[in-house]
Structure 1
Amino acid sequence: MIRPYFFFSRVVPVTMIAFSIWSCSGKESKEQSGKYSDFTIRMDTVMVDPGDEILMAATNGYAHSVTKDLRTLYYWDFQGSQIEVIDLEKMAFVEKIPVEKEGPNGVGQNGYLMRLLGNGNLAFLGWDNKIAITDVKGNVLSRVKLDEPWMTEGIENFGTLSFLGFSEDGSKIYCNFSNYEKLQPKVVELNLDQESKKIIELPTFEKMDKFRVSWTSEDGTSRSMTYPSLNMTPFKGQYLFTTNILNSIYRFDPQKDSVDLMQYENTLTPNEKAGVYKNEVASQSDIREVSDKIREEINFQLPVWDEKKQVFYRFSYYALPKIADEKVKFRSFISILNADFELIAEKEITDLGLNIPNVQFIKDGKIYLFLNLDDELAYIRLAIE
């Protein structure tokens, strides 16, 4: 399905944000580097008590939202139109909150994704790029649509807006661009109160387009595409922009309107994907074939901050070539960075059997990874020592 593009005749000026580069290699903190020079990982599993309920939160780790105090998990059950609430202190189910899809408090039939805002409200995002802001009980407070003229004017050629996240207070939305012809190394900041926008340039991420794989039917009515991720992670009033194709991190400070490129050198893995692939292919099966090859190169996940130990953990992995009908196997790794994004330790963790580590949060110095354990919600916990 092709999303429509919106064109307007009036050109609206757009603020552009400059960036600087910080190279972290060779500046390692000796104290922290020594502390993690020979670290070990302890692993255990903890299950969530579901009571008498069947928890849809056990089905996948995609739609989980955790409060800043790490005490409560909210899971949006789209099919059941309800929010599952989990107490992360007691690791036990609390309640299910029904949410309307239609009517004055309806979040929409297409509200597939829910995000928890810093002020305690919830945002439901639909496939049609309509967003409903609600309180924690599902009462609609406001609505936003990501194709308002003030949002799109002047940047139509970049593609359609694709939601990344909200600012902590909910007054700003960050988006990247969806485009079948070329991926843009840019993020747009939408100020909902002022109805203004800024373009945040991420030039190193221009490499993402090398790994875009698109297919268009002969009559032009159908399209499919796989492409690298571009993600946003809040961090101490700033935002980190990352992609899975390379380890570089952009740090955006909204107060200073500044963007810094943080770079470090991995030694156990390449720093980025390097293969050459076709951007346009002849069939959907070709998309799968090329995507499988791309996945066999290194893939970087989001950096996650450990407040207790004052370090970032960043997992990476790559798929091994598939053998006959066997399941795909993976090699996985962990990198530890200090607060200045300097690499202070790294280790291969394939022997832990995690395949693609799916980190949900870090609590009390332990890394919690999502686990579906016989259709029950559970977590693998990793302690770095």
Structure 2
Amino acid sequence: MILGCESKKSKDTVSPTGFTYTIDTVVVDPKGHFFDLRSNLYFSDITPDGNYLVNFNNFVFALEYVDLRNLQFARLDSLEVEGPNGVGDNYVSGLKMMENKEVFLSTGRAIAFKRGNELKSIKHETIFKEFSGDSIQPQQIFYETVSEIGSQYAGLLNPPRLDSSPSGVLWADLETRTKHFIPVEEFKEFDKYNIIQYIGEIPVNSFAQAYNLLFFEDKLILTVGLENSAWIIDGEQKSVQQISFESVLLQNTHKVNYPLRVESDVEAEAAEKFKAAVKEKSKQPSYSKWAFDKKRGLFWRFSKAMDHMEGEEIVFKTILTAFDTRFNQVYECQLPEGFSYSDRFFIWDGMIYSLLNMDDEMAFVRLIPELNEIE
């Protein structure tokens, strides 16, 4: 299916004339293998050469490789929990395929680098207590990543309270074993968007913001699910630059028209109130991660917001946006009604792949942009 779109122009947004794209669906041959799609490929990445998608399979505690050229299951690479090559936990919360052919894994308590059958791990506690540099109290880290060659590490420091946003970035050089803290003051403003569920006076659940970390060259690009912005962090200079964008196709403000505190002495009732509040919040604009398109030298991002209601169902408006390597917004296009994307979409050979779970069979909706020169 070949489609096109034209977009209005504003002072801050350049949109192409006659921007076309193709959408199709492809199915992966499992070769008798049962893929783990429960997390919608949240713990996955593609190899630097683009030939394989690698996904963490928690059913068998292994990495499953998908051959993207031939669209078929390729192989399993088993992981160990304990022992000299163990990740130290039965849970993997992050995965990245690196340029040096190592696999970066995070578990919420440690990070690890896997090469073949060998695995080297570093506990968060080690970074906090044994790396030189800023004195940083050990804290929980939920979002973390490393640079393409694995020398630089970045993780968001999350306070233990459910209603608190990250205070900033823990930045570490894994080769020199040094660390420092980079505060991001704007994150404090996001507390006012957090939905907290209470049973009586006890907070038991929260719906906060999604944060995405992407190393590009020597910088870290940090984006937040509810903000049409990017924070460019220079670890060496300890600097933070916030860049705000403006859409002409989506409202640019997040309206708090949902309850921030839901409570009941009855657990089931509190859960239903929480679910309703989350649904109401989902009508507001939200923004995906950025993914880099090596073929075109662009970053791509999806965003969405409620277009209208059909009964009890929300019908979303979905926007595809491109940014250049100087972090300028250069393209913006509204996609057809009904188009949906997975949080962990990826780009291979200029094609944007978004998971389509077909009764536990792996398939992808592929969107292939054809861009005109920017005027």
Q: TM-score, normalised by structure 1?
A: 0.80
SS of equivalent residue, structure 2 residue 273: helix
Deviations 1:280-337 (A, max 9, x none): 432443332222221110001122222222332221112467666x554322111233
Is 1:243 the counterpart of 2:224? The answer is yes
Is the 1:329–1:355 Cα contact (8 Å) retained in structure 2?
no
SS of equivalent residue, structure 2 residue 277: helix
Q: How does 1:1-385 map to 2 (within 5 A)?
A: 26=11, 33=14, 36-57=16-37, 60-118=40-98, 119-127=100-108, 129-137=109-117, 139-146=118-125, 148-149=128-129, 154-156=135-137, 160-179=140-159, 180-218=162-200, 220=202, 223-275=204-256, 278-282=259-263, 283-319=270-306, 326-351=312-337, 353-358=338-343, 360-385=345-370
CA positional deviation for 1:219? 7.2
Q: What amino acid maps onto 1:132 in structure 2?
A: A
In 1, Cα distance between equivalents of 2:277 and 2:123: 37
Q: What amino acid maps onto 2:295 in structure 1?
A: K
SS of equivalent residue, structure 1 residue 209: helix
SS of equivalent residue, structure 1 residue 133: strand
Q: What amino acid maps onto 1:198 in structure 2?
A: H
Tell which deviates more after alignment, 180-189 or 234-243.
Answer: 180-189
SS of equivalent residue, structure 1 residue 274: coil
Is the 1:240–1:249 Cα contact (8 Å) retained in structure 2?
yes
In 1, Cα distance between equivalents of 2:62 and 2:143: 22
Deviations 1:55-78 (A, max 9, x none): 225872212121122112211111
Structure 1 pair 100/150, CA: closer, same or farther in 2 (3 Å)?
Answer: closer
User: Between the two proteins, what is the percent identity of the paired residues?
Assistant: 23
CA positional deviation for 1:27? 6.1
Is the 1:264–1:341 Cα contact (8 Å) retained in structure 2?
no
CA positional deviation for 1:381? 1.1
Q: What amino acid maps onto 2:119 in structure 1?
A: V
Paired residues, what number?
350
Aligned-residue RMSD, C-alpha:
3.0
Deviations 1:125-147 (A, max 9, x none): 335x233332244x322332347
Deviations 1:126-169 (A, max 9, x none): 35x233332244x3223323474357985549x63323212223
CA positional deviation for 1:350? 3.7
Is the 1:300–1:314 Cα contact (8 Å) retained in structure 2?
yes
Structure 1 pair 161/276, CA: closer, same or farther in 2 (3 Å)?
Answer: same
Is the 1:72–1:85 Cα contact (8 Å) retained in structure 2?
yes
Q: TM-score, normalised by structure 2?
A: 0.81
**Structure 1 gap segments, 5+ residues each:** 1-24
